[in-house]
Structure 1
Amino acid sequence: MVKKKLMMLVSLMLVLSVFLAACGKDKEKVEGVEKEKPGSEKIEEVEKTEEPSFPVDVSNKDAVLEDGELVYGLVSSDPFKGTLSPVFYQDAYDAELLRFFAEDLLAVDGDYLITNDGAATYDISDENKTITIKIKDGVKWHDGEPVKASDLLYSYEIMGHPDYTGMRFDFPTTNIKGMTAYHQGKADTISGITISDDDKTIAIAFETASPSILSGVWTAPTPRHYLGDVTKGEITMEELESSDKIRTKPIGFGPYKVVKVVSGESVLYERFDDYWGGKPNLKSVVLKVVNSASVLEALKKGEVDIAKFPTDQYLNAKDADQFELLGRLGLSYTYIGFNLGEWDKKNKINIMDSKAKLADKRVRQAMWHAMDNEVVGKEMYHGLRIPATTLITPAISFRDDENKGRSYDPEKAKALLDEAGFVDVNGDGIREDAEGKEFVLNFLTMSGGEVAEPLAKWYMQNWEEIGLKVVLLDGRLHELQAFYDMLETGRPDIDIFQGAWKTGSDPDPSGIHGRESVSNFSHYTSEKNDELLAAGVSEQAFDVDYRKDIYNQWQAMMVEDVSLAPTLYRYDLEAVSKRVVNYSIDPGSPNYAPWMWGVTK
């Protein structure tokens, strides 16, 4: 059975030109795994591999070239969306664009906790209910205007505005005093936020004390003077989000300023000489979209200096002379989601539907047990992705290492479906539902990268082996923006979907899994979920042991209820040209900041 499944996986991967190119020899050894070309009988002998180890800092220690230029490759099969505002952007690609010119006022350390090393300092009250943030002298927007405390207030006014439809209105923002009344249109101001007379200090008071004050408080300001004031009717929320001042001519207070945006394709940045942190090393940065299929060649030719590297191309890159690979286990996980209800736009809450096609959790549990993620991690991603067990990643200290999730077990999957009444009535090998009716699931998944299509086929085959018929929605894969547009608009014929989350630094999972989260695409809700999420950010949760216990309970509940089935944790790889200096992927390193990066000749 093992051999049959592995051989099927290899046959799916025949579509991968990069994979085929890697098989120039009869055998190749990768991370201790010996394998032969597709079709070899020895493919079944794949053994468990040790987790890989990569450096997090570049090895080049040479002096920085004055006025150098760096080319940053944004690896994507699709154009970037270009929503260049911290309060409005939605995907990881736009986050990469923002990194060069937009910043938070407060810096964070290697544990993602706020520090006083950024553009502002902070103080927290004795009762842990108020944070006071003071902007340092000389912090300026790219148009020369000073960054003000009222600019941070403006971010909160946008996120809490009744017309705001973005993803940022979550805890701890919802915990601010007066935010509920403001969000409901019952107040014109947010009573819990006060600004000093000199407009350099902002005090934010919260309804309840929460440890999220140290890891989740929002400190990215928005330039009110430049964009226009939505609170005074100078511009509507829709006009603001789609304006050129966000899409093509944004400003920030980061180390580089945006000079030119070619929509969906590239951004030219130039050094901001008045950057509060000092003179950035680079004179300019060119960010350009590079297709995942051509990124390796671009790196080898020196056309790109830095790029997040596709793990499916690791074999071809690991011995390259022109660049080095940095890597660490990241904050991201991939998942299969289940459509269990809908988003109530009027009341802005998720509503579960007891009559949803996948309402019976035993079916969801079975689908998780049917997925052979260990083979995917080894064969498609060369050991650089590992089977996921819970919805908190290993990069977060609150992950429950004792919880093993739902391992690959097709026999258990079949037993769960039998128990739920999903049996093959007509003998065609495909199960009907509990009422004896045809049961077909529409699968939404996205294109992009060499592995996307074979991975989708692999999971569909896994589910077919336990008697479930799954078909691609519209008969094809969808590009990234269309994928998320369909989830956000709530297309009713989506039954399951495959996506990925980068969870952020705050361990609080309510931003993805909460009742009031617009990003809760499964629309899963329960009273127990509400209770545990609230407890995890309560005053009592300042006790780390208490908070860990709460999140252990939450992880166990989600393994039982399966609103999302996590599939893989992943190593984040970055390919960095050997001419790059002062570069690190460790958030605790000073070289993590773009203004420190440089190049040599």
Structure 2
Amino acid sequence: MLKNKGKRAYRVLDFLHEHVIAIIIAVVVLAGVISTIAIVKGDVKTSSEKENSIQYEEMSTIYFAMDPVKSLNPLSSQDRDVYYISQLMFSSLFKLNENLNIEPDLVSSYTANSGSGTVSIKLREDAKFSDGSRVTAEDVRYTVSQILRIGDESPYYEYASKIDSVKTSGSYSLTITFENPNDAALDNLVFPIVSSSSYDDSANKIVGSGQYAYDSYDSMKLLKLKPNTYYYGGVPQNRIQFKIIQDKTKTTGLMTTDAITAYVSTAQDADSDAEDKKLKVTKIPSSELEYLGFNFDNKYLAKKEVRQAIALAIDTESLIQDNYGGAGITSDSVYFPGFLGTENKGDFYKQDQKGASELLQKSGFKDSNEDGILEDSKGRDFQLTILVNSNDGSRSDTASSISEALNQIGIKASVKKVSWAEYRSEVRSGDFDLFLGGYQFDKKYDLRSLFSKSNYLGYKNDQILASVKKLETCISAEQQKETYEKLKTMLQEELPYYSLCYKTYSFITVKEFTSTETPTFFDMYRGCDTWKWKKVVVTEQKDDE
């Protein structure tokens, strides 16, 4: 037994001796393969590899993107970016807070007479333009005259055109008289005030009295703003640079390299794109309402119980997710969510198909032949057609979803998709049962046209119209809120328009970003004077020697 083992050992040694070179080559190749795999997996560091250390640097400049613009003149420019940038550089008599409540800006005190349509104003005496000169009553009078001179090409003409006269009394007192007392609302006095002594409508460098002042401008590259050291509200903490970008769709890509700090996108899929790039996203309500309109000349829809039943049949949360990409928020009225600081409780008519069916039964509809379609008292099928603009994909899909929901409660609903021109013509002529529409409101939220006697629905309610008009007069913030609370209750009961949702915008920022205030649809850079952010700094570690 031992002899056999010895012979096998000698044979192994003979084999190794004869094939030693081949074995060495095989071992070297195998070791190389294993090393390569380890390097690719990151398990082994090569001798030339260096470790990177990521640190963050606190920044004092906020970087924004802007489109190329024709002019920086706040009174005449029709460029969207200039409208928002001007709010950083110019103060106004009054301003709106995040709930669209009116607040004094340059105004120290005021009295309003809604009967005569006059507002008597005392200006702040500590307000100064960025050149150090004081803001006076003459500057206000001059600004109004310039807007009227420019005419409807000015983004503020709609506001100033309602003013009949501005009379000054001394350096800081003035009285504004509106042509029509019904237009004497303080939210018509939110236009930027320019300096009567230095304003030049042909120049880009225009002196303002806002938080920031003009620093430098290259129309192809960059607009720089610096803190206005004379600003009455305190000197801002940050400097601002607007980088001029030919294609704003590339903005989020630039944010991944910290070239842009923050950006408000109106695109429906902006949040998913930003999240893919590991950026921070906050949804903010827009002023874009999506709604369902009822034709009051239709004998079925003239009954409020039927309108309420239709609302109860619809799942607005699902509509937002399925048809608007999640970029929406429900509202308890057609007014802005949380208007004037009231609580937004979401859809007042949360989906309840059983409740919808009960309302229809109380209104005289029943399925006598049990074919799934309700009939009226004369045995006629309850049929409705939903009119929608075929060019809008989200609304077309929403109309189809609503049609399905109505069919489930026994209403034989169909969708009529037409071109924009046909849609507009049929809505204006009242040739519809229901129509799916959208409305983008101005920040003043003057909804009188929706409830006037010439509205497209054929809806008439003097009490609601009176309340809507009252909101557009010179009443206090407390009176406004009280008026709106009562109006909202009436609108929820009457339901002339059913709010499906308000679209939302995406406030996108770099990852290391903090703020106490966020933008609004009418003030894209709100609070940016105190925003904080950190830039990523990557440093290379040296090899150990």
TM-score (norm 2): 0.59
Shift in Å, 1:565: 0.7
Measured in 2, the distance between the counterparts of 1:426 and 1:251 equals 75
Change (3 A) 1:73 1:169: closer
Structure 1 residue 585 displacement after superposition:
0.9
Equivalent in the alignment of 1:325:
281
Which moved further from structure 2: 487-496 or 409-418? 487-496
Q: Give the corresponding residue for 2:86.
A: 101
Contact 1:269 1:285 in 2 (8 A): yes
Q: Report what 1:63 is aligned to.
A: 59
Residues of 2 paired with 1:420 and 1:457: CA distance?
Answer: 25
Match of residue 175, structure 2, among 196, 200, 203: 203
**Deviations for 1:249-308, whole angstroms, at most 9, x for unmatched residues?**
9989575889799xxxxx9762367967579823433366656xx876675576764333
The counterpart of 2:350, out of the listed 407, 415, 425, is 407
In the alignment, does 2:313 pair up with 1:375?
no
1:124 Cα offset (Å): 0.7
Q: Is the 8 A contact 1:331 1:502 kept in 2?
A: no
The whole-number CA distance in structure 2 between the counterparts of 1:88 and 1:357 is 48
Answer yes or no: is the 8 Å Cα contact 1:311–1:382 preserved in 2.
yes
Q: Would you say the 8 A contact 1:327–1:573 is kept in 2?
A: yes
Say yes or no: does 1:471 pair with 2:444: no
Question: 2:491 aligned to 531, 543, 558, which one?
Answer: 558
For 2:527 and 2:425, the matched residues in 1 are separated by: 33
Matches within 5 A, 1:529-540: 529-536=464-471
1:459 to 402, 423, 433: 402
In 2, are the aligned partners of 1:423 and 1:431 still within 8 Å (CA)? yes
> Is contact 2:289-2:438 (8 Å) kept?
yes
The secondary structure found in structure 2 opposite 1:532 is helix
Q: 2:506 aligns with which of 557, 573, 581?
A: 573
Output the CA distance in 2 between the equivalents of 1:289 and 1:222. Answer: 32
Corresponding residue for 1:124?
110
Give the whole-Å Cα distance in 1 for the aligned partners of 2:74 and 2:363: 47
Matching residue of 1:444: 389
> Which SS does the other structure have where 2:334 is aligned?
coil
Q: Give the AA of the match of 2:119.
A: T
Give the partner amino acid of 1:203.
Answer: T
The one-letter code matched in structure 1 to 2:468 is L
SS of the residue corresponding to residue 406 of structure 1 reads coil
Report Cα offsets for 1:12-45 as digits up to 9, x if no partner. Answer: xxxxxxxxxxxxxxxxxxxxxxxxxxxxxxxxxx
Does structure 2 retain, via aligned residues, the 8 Å contact 1:335–1:499?
yes
Q: Does the C-alpha gap of structure 1 residues 260 and 414 become closer, same or farther in structure 2, counting only changes over 3 Å?
A: farther
Alpha carbons 2:101, 2:477 under 8 Å: kept: no
Distance 1:289 1:514 in 2: 40
- For 1:379-414, what per-residue CA distance to the aligned partner results, in whole angstroms no more than 9, with x for missing partners? 677977554333344533553668972221234434
2:189 alignment partner AA: W
| Alpha-carbon distance, 1:312 to partner | 5.4
- Alignment-derived partner of residue 232 in structure 1: none
Match of 2:262 among 306, 311, 318: 306
Instruction: State the Cα distance separating 1:224 from its structure 2 match.
Output: 12
Cα gap change, 1:271/1:374 in structure 2, threshold over 3 Å: closer, same or farther? same
Q: In the alignment, what sits opposite 2:290?
A: 335
Distance change (3 Å), C-alpha of 1:72 and 1:459: farther
> Which letter maps to 1:527?
D
CA deviation after TM superposition for structure 1 residue 370, in Å: 1.9
Contact 2:386–2:403 (Cα < 8 Å) also in 1: no
Q: Distance in 1 between matches of 2:300 and 2:75?
A: 36
Please, which of 332, 335, 339 is the counterpart of residue 396 of structure 1?
Answer: 339
1:70-91 deviations in whole A, cap 9, x for unaligned? 32599xxxxx9x99977997xx
What SS does the aligned partner of 1:148 have?
helix
CA apart distance, 1:373: 1.4
Instruction: Tell me, in whole angstroms, the C-alpha distance in 2 between the residues paired with 1:524 and 1:164.
Output: 33
Cα distance in 2 between the residues matched to 1:224 and 1:514: 39
Check whether the contact 1:325–1:573 (CA below 8 A) recurs between aligned residues: yes
How is 1:69-468 mapped onto 2 (pairs within 5 angstroms)?
Answer: 70-71=64-65, 97-101=82-86, 103-106=90-93, 107-108=95-96, 120-125=106-111, 130-132=119-121, 134=123, 136-138=127-129, 148-154=139-145, 157=148, 190-191=164-165, 193-195=166-168, 202-205=174-177, 213=186, 216-221=187-192, 253=208, 270-271=223-224, 277=231, 281-286=239-244, 290=248, 300=256, 305-308=261-264, 314=271, 317-318=274-275, 320-321=277-278, 323-327=279-283, 330=285, 332=287, 334-338=289-293, 340=295, 354=297, 358-377=301-320, 385-397=328-340, 399=342, 405-417=348-360, 439-444=384-389, 447=392, 454-466=397-409, 467-468=411-412
Q: TM-score, normalised by structure 1?
A: 0.54
RMSD: 6.0
Aligned residue runs from structure 1 range 477-488, under 5 A: 486=424
Report how many aligned residue pairs link the two structures. 449
Per the TM alignment, residue 549 of structure 1 is displaced from its structure 2 partner at its CA by: 4.8
Larger Rg: 2
CA–CA separation in structure 2 for the residues paired with 1:86 and 1:413:
51
Q: Structure 1's 501 and 220: CA in aligned 2 closer, same or farther, altered over 3 A?
A: same
**Contact in 2 for aligned 1:127/1:209 (Cα 8 Å):** no
* Percent pairwise identity: 13
> Residue type matched to 2:499 in 1?
P
Rounded Cα–Cα distance in structure 2 between residues aligned with 1:290 and 1:453: 28
CA contact (8 A) 1:73 1:306 kept: no
Does the CA contact (< 8 Å) of 2:388 and 2:415 recur in 1? Answer: yes
Which ranges in structure 1 are unaligned for 5 or more consecutive residues?
1-59, 75-79, 141-145, 180-189, 226-244, 262-266, 341-352
| In structure 2, distance between residues paired with 1:250 and 1:524 | 49
Cα distance in 2 between the residues matched to 1:473 and 1:269: 45
Q: Which amino acid aligns with 1:443?
A: V
Q: Aligned letter for 2:64?
A: L
Determine helix, strand or coil for the equivalent of 1:125: strand
Amino acid paired to 1:461: E
Query: What is the CA–CA distance in structure 2 between the aligned matches of 1:250 and 1:513, rounded to whole Å?
Result: 40
Query: Helix, strand or coil for the counterpart of 1:285?
Result: strand
What is the rounded CA distance, in whole Å, between the counterparts of 1:167 and 1:354 in structure 2?
Answer: 37
SS at match of 1:567: strand
Distance in structure 2 (CA, Å) of the matches to 1:100 and 1:496: 37
Whole-angstrom distance in 2 between the partners of 1:439 and 1:358: 9
Structure 2 Cα separation of the partners of residues 443 and 419 of structure 1: 29
Q: Which amino acid in the other structure matches residue 474 of structure 1?
A: V
Whichever residue aligns with residue 218 of structure 1, its letter is L
Distance 1:521 1:84 in 2: 37
| Aligned counterpart in structure 2 of residue 515 of structure 1, from 437, 444, 452 | 452
Q: Secondary structure at the match of 2:58?
A: coil
Q: Does the C-alpha gap of structure 1 residues 211 and 133 become closer, same or farther in structure 2, counting only changes over 3 Å?
A: same
Distance in 2, matches of 1:584 and 1:205, equals 35
